[in-house]
């Protein structure tokens, strides 16, 4: 490695919620830690996703770090579901409180990483051609950080501004008086649509697939709720980590078939009124049994037809191609009501496919829709996109891209065979964004930190996943997914939104608690499935 490389024990890529906690934890353990971050501030996905209406779909009190009890005492969330600016302020607050920014190089995007087996270290290069060397590389690159801009014919002909929700320009974008076209009706789309529609705009929504969405029932946080949460925080943390989803909501333990039609209806009404993603837990088998799911899906479609006045628009908004909840369920603030506004029009791209983007219009097979501004709410190359964008080369110069040609292969979502000393935080094959990702992050970082402590204690300098353990884990991930209805949807969870991406279920669906137990067991069994060695000692021998 050239002499001019900047060296650290641990190099963290990314300063979102995963990167921040990794810096905190690994520094606390005495490592010399450096982080590289592409943006000019901390926050990761909450830094980039500053589109109108951006909000988390997990309750703010639960979508919070648990590692620092003081943080819980001093941070006052102001709403049941936090908006992006508040979440970003929280990330900044955590960074300041723990003096993390001095370990971060901002405006520094990593382009490649190569393992030098002789030196037993990773050599990392940025797009500015800066060089870094480290013993351990921690990829905290995020699961929804690599935006997907579809290859729409004529996109470059468009004369007005084009904004992707995941790379929204900082500062106010003035849409007033504009004809706004938006493509995409996933979580980002529905949040943007519901918010932008309230401005003085003519909004045309281009929908390819309708999505299920449940009311958020957001409300201001009260002092009572905050105080109660703080008083019971320790117990809440225990319960959060003991849960499947990393969220505290009741999961009905009764299968749909054991309820009468009236009971099912009442249970669904209750959850609809309560608001939020717990709707998908109305029956214990809602996400595993097609009939159980169909009760909830029919109910949600009825709600759409009740809310949306124009019958054709209502019909177009009713999802029929996937079981409810198998694409990430959207959680909205009066999304369907938006279509009753005179300034909002829905275009069903299944009925009239998009032909091209023109200079100042979106053209479908049925007509041309004028637009001054184009918003792409077209999603992400989820889970693997940001990792594979970096040219990562492991043992023998083999690339991660090639190793994952037929889908990502990891052991516990933490490491990939052939790539020693490279850890992934919320990587493919881990619970990641299938659960409350903040807890998934803490769980992963804690495991990595303990692992590095254990390596040090036994004088080891290299850890690598065994291929056989990895093969079994890949199979376990597939088996868990196959127990559910999730693989039935053409979602980003299976890579279906990215042309050419192998169709593999990307996340471990066994739940946060079960996954945590597996990781602990692996560790307690001498890191079973990993090869650990002291490279210097091997060389001497």
Q: Which is nearer to ligand NA7, 52 or 418 (CB)?
A: 52
**Nearest of 36, 29, 41 to residue 95 by alpha carbon:** 41
**Nearest of 48, 51, 54, 64 to residue 332 by alpha carbon:** 54
Q: Does 150 bind ligand NA7 (CB under 6 A)?
A: yes
Of 302-331, binders to ligand NA7 (CB under 6 A) are 328
Among 204, 378, 410, 470, binds ligand NA7 (CB under 6 A): 378
Q: Which is nearer to ligand NA7, 437 or 465 (CB)?
A: 437
Among 158, 163, 283, 492, binds ligand NA7 (CB under 6 A): 492
Q: Does 497 bind ligand NA7 (CB under 6 A)?
A: yes
Structure tokens at 185: 């009706």
Q: Which is nearer to ligand NA7, 309 or 350 (CB)?
A: 350
Among 7, 208, 244, 265, binds ligand NA7 (CB under 6 A): 208
Structure letter (DSSP) for residue 354: E
Q: Does 144 bind ligand NA7 (CB under 6 A)?
A: yes
From residue 381, alpha-carbon distances to 50, 183, 387, 396, 497 in Å are 18, 16, 10, 27, 8
From residue 418, alpha-carbon distances to 141, 271, 398, 465, 470 in Å are 20, 46, 8, 7, 11
- Gap between the Cα atoms of 459 and 366, Å rounded: 69
Q: Which is nearer to ligand NA7, 339 or 492 (CB)?
A: 492
From residue 465, alpha-carbon distances to 12, 417, 469 in Å are 19, 5, 7
Which residues are within 8 A (CB) of 291 and not within 5 positions of it... i.e. 6 or more apart? 256, 257
Q: Does 16 bind ligand NA7 (CB under 6 A)?
A: no
From residue 334, alpha-carbon distances to 183, 198, 308 in Å are 19, 11, 11
For residue 306, the minimal CB distance to ligand NA7 (Å) is: 23
Number of residues near ligand NA7 (by CB under 6 A):
22
Q: Which is nearer to ligand NA7, 175 or 181 (CB)?
A: 181
Of 44-63, binders to ligand NA7 (CB under 6 A) are none
For residue 377, the minimal CB distance to ligand NA7 (Å) is: 5
- Residue closest to ligand NA7 when measured from CB atoms: 186
Total residues belonging to the chain: 541
Q: Does 484 bind ligand NA7 (CB under 6 A)?
A: no
Q: Does 204 bind ligand NA7 (CB under 6 A)?
A: no
Q: Does 181 bind ligand NA7 (CB under 6 A)?
A: no
Distance of CA 203 to the CA centre of its chain: 27
Q: Does 189 bind ligand NA7 (CB under 6 A)?
A: yes
The interface region with ligand NA7, picked from 144-152, 223-231, 311-319, 439-447 by CB under 6 A, is 144-152
**Nearest of 290, 209, 227 to residue 257 by alpha carbon:** 290
Structure tokens at 515: 């996954």
Residues lying near ligand NA7 in the complex (CB under 6 A) are found at 144, 150, 152, 165, 183-189, 208-209, 328, 349, 354, 377-380, 492, 497
């Amino acid at each position: 490695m050239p002499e001019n490389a900047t060296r650290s024990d641990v190099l963290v890529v990314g300063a979102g919620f995963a990167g921040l906690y990794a810096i905190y934890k690994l520094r606390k353990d005495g490592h010399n830690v450096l982080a590289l971050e592409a943006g000019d501030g901390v926050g990761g996905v909450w830094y980039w996703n500053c589109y109108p209406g951006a909000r988390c779909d997990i309750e703010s009190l639960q979508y919070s770090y648990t590692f620092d009890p003081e943080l819980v005492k001093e941070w006052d969330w102001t709403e049941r579901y936090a908006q992006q600016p508040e979440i970003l302020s929280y990330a900044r607050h955590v960074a300041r409180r723990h003096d993390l920014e001095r370990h971060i190089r901002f405006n520094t995007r990593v382009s490649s990483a190569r393992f030098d087996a002789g030196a037993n270290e990773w050599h990392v290069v940025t797009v500015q051609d800066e060089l870094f060397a480290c013993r351990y590389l921690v990829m905290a690159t995020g699961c929804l950080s690599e935006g997907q801009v579809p290859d729409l014919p004529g996109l470059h002909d468009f004369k007005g501004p084009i904004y992707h929700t995941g790379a929204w320009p900082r500062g106010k974008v003035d849409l007033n008086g504009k004809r706004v076209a938006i493509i995409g009706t996933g979580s980002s789309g529905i949040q943007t649509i519901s918010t932008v529609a309230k401005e003085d705009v003519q909004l045309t929504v281009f929908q390819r697939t309708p999505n299920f969405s449940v009311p958020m029932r957001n409300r201001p946080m009260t002092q009572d709720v905050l105080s109660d949460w703080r008083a019971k925080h320790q117990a809440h943390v225990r319960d959060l980590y003991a849960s499947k989803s990393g969220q505290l909501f009741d999961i009905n333990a009764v299968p749909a078939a054991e309820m009468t039609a009236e009971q099912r209806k009442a249970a669904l009404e209750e959850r609809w009124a309560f608001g939020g993603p717990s709707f998908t837990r109305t029956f214990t088998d809602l996400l595993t049994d097609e009939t159980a799911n169909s009760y909830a899906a029919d109910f949600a479609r009825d709600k759409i037809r009740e809310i949306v006045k124009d019958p054709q628009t209502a019909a177009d908004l009713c999802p029929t191609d996937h079981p409810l909840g198998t694409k990430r369920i959207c959680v909205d603030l009066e999304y369907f009501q938006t279509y009753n506004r005179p300034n909002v029009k829905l275009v069903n791209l299944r009925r009239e496919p998009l032909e091209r983007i023109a200079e100042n219009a979106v053209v479908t097979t049925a007509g041309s829709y004028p637009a001054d501004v184009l918003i792409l709410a077209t999603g992400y190359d989820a889970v693997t996109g940001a990792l594979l964008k970096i040219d990562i080369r492991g043992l023998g110069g083999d690339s991660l891209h090639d190793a994952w040609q037929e889908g990502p292969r990891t052991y516990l979502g933490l490491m990939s065979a052939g790539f020693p000393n490279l850890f992934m935080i919320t990587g493919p094959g881990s619970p990641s964004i299938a659960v409350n990702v903040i807890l998934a992050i803490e769980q992963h970082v804690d495991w990595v930190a303990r692992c590095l402590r254990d390596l040090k204690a036994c004088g080891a300098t290299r850890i690598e996943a065994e291929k056989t353990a990895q093969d079994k884990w890949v199979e376990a991930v597939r088996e868990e997914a196959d127990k559910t209805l999730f693989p039935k949807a053409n979602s980003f969870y299976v890579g279906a939104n990215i042309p050419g991406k192998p169709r593999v279920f990307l996340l471990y669906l066994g739940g946060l608690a079960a996954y945590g137990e597996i990781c602990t067991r692996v560790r307690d069994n001498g890191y079973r499935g990993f090869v650990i060695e002291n490279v210097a000692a091997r060389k001497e021998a």
